[in-house]
Structure 1
C-alpha cells in the first residue's frame, strides 16, 4: 500500500520515498507518493526521481495492485533496486493546472446541476458530459455564472463520510460513470465553500486548489451532442 502524500497536501512538490517493488512492465512501486496516479478522469503526474546520483524522468503514475502507486519511467532504463530511497519531484506547473481545471469542473457541475455521465481533465482544458437533452440556451450566461463562483474566492476543503452515510445520501454522487471507492470504511469528500456559503459537496479523490480564485478565468468552449440525452461541455483555462 502506497501512502498518498498528494491527499495530505496537494501543494507538495518534493518528497522522499522508498522503492518497494517493480512491475513486469518496468514500473516502480513506492511506499509513499506525491505523484497522483491516473484515475477519476485526472491524468497521472509526471516529473522526476533521483537516487545515488542518478536521475530518471517519470512519464506518469498509475494504480497498481491493491493500493500501490506505480511510477512509469519516460524511457526504459535500469530501475532503482527495491529498498532504495528516492527523491520525488513532480512537474508542478502541469499538476497545478490539473488542480485548477479539476476544481473548475466541480463548479461547472454547480452551474449545470445535472447528472454527470463522464469527464476528462487536462492541463489546458477539461470537459464534463451531462445527461442534458437540450444544450444550454445561453452559453455566455453559463460562462458568467462559472466565473462569478470563481471570483467569490470560496475555500475548497475536504472531509470524509462512511460508506453507510454515503448510501443514505446518494444525491452526493454526481457522476454516473464513476462511483466513489468503497470498502475502506471512509469516502473522501471535497467541499467548496463553508457554512451558508457552501455550494458543493461530492466524493472525489483528485487534487484541487485551496480557493476558487486560484483557478483564474475560465472560458466555456463548445457544447457537443454526444447522444440523444447527452451533451459534452468543454471549459478552458483562459
Structure 2
C-alpha cells in the first residue's frame, strides 16, 4: 500500500519515504508518495528521487495494483533496494499548472452544464468533451463566465460520502465515460464555493488549487466537432 500524501495536501512538494517494492517494469513502490498517479484524465507527476547516489529523474507515477503507486524513472538507472529510505521531490511548476487546469475544467463544467464524455489535463491547457450536438453560440460569453468564477476567489474544498450516498445522488457524477472508483467504501467529492455560494460539487480524485483566483485568467481555445453528438472544448491558462 502507498499512502497518497497528495490527497491530503496537494501543496506538499517533497517527502521522505521507504521503498517497499520494485515492479517487473522497474517502477519504484514506496510506503508513501507526493507523486499523483495517472488517472481521471490527469497525468502522473514528474520529479526526482535521491537516496545519496545522486538524483534520478522520475517521468511519471502509475498505479501498480489496487493500493500501490509506482514511480517510473525517466531513463534506465540503478534502482534503490527494497528498504531504502529515499527523498521524493516534485517538478512543482508542472504539478501546480496541472492543479490550476484541473480546477478550471471543473468550472468549465459549471459554465457548460452538459454531460461530460471525456477530458484531458496537461500543464497549461486542458479540454472537456461534452454531449453537445450544436456548437455554443456565445463563446465569448463562456470565457467571460469562466473568468468571473475565477475572480470570485471561491474556496475549493473536499468532502467524503459513502458509495451508497453516491448511488442515491447520481446527479453528482458529470462524466459519462469515467465513473468514480468503487470498492473502498467512500468517495471523495470536490466542492467549489461554500453554502449559497457553492457552484460545483462532484466526485474527483485529482489535485486542485485551494481557491479559484489561483487559477489565473483563462482563454477558451478551439471548439471541435467530435461526432454528431459531441464537441471538444479546449481551455488554456493565460500564463
Q: TM-score range by the shorter chain?
A: over 0.9
Structure 1 counterpart of 2:234: 234
Instruction: Give the alignment of 1:199-214 within 5 angstroms.
Output: 199-214=199-214
Structure 2 counterpart of 1:126: 126
Q: Deviations over 1:108-153 (max 9, x none)?
A: 0000000000000010100000000111101000000000000000
CA distance in 2, matches of 1:66, 1:137: 44
Secondary structure, counterpart of 1:142 in structure 2: helix
1:53 to partner: Cα distance = 3.7
Structure 2 counterpart of 1:151: 151
1:183 to partner: Cα distance = 1.1
Structure 1 counterpart of 2:55: 55
Structure 2 counterpart of 1:176: 176
CA distance in 2, matches of 1:143, 1:121: 18
CA distance in 2, matches of 1:221, 1:52: 45
Structure 2 counterpart of 1:11: 11
Q: Deviations over 1:191-222 (max 9, x none)?
A: 00000000000000000000000000000011
Secondary structure, counterpart of 2:209 in structure 1: coil
1:36 matches 2:48: no
CA distance in 1, matches of 2:236, 2:79: 37
Q: Deviations over 1:10-47 (max 9, x none)?
A: 00001011101001111101110100000000000000
Structure 2 counterpart of 1:80: 80
Aligned residues: 238
CA distance in 1, matches of 2:227, 2:54: 51
TM (normalized to structure 1)? 0.99
Secondary structure, counterpart of 2:140 in structure 1: helix
1:55 to partner: Cα distance = 1.8
Runs of 4+ in 1 over 3 A off after TM superposition: none
Gaps of 5+ in 2: none
1:166 matches 2:169: no
Instruction: Give the alignment of 1:135-146 within 5 angstroms.
Output: 135-146=135-146
Secondary structure, counterpart of 1:143 in structure 2: helix
1:52 to partner: Cα distance = 2.5
Instruction: Give the alignment of 1:185-196 within 5 angstroms.
Output: 185-196=185-196
1:103 matches 2:103: yes
CA distance in 2, matches of 1:149, 1:52: 46
Secondary structure, counterpart of 1:150 in structure 2: helix
1:66 to partner: Cα distance = 1.5
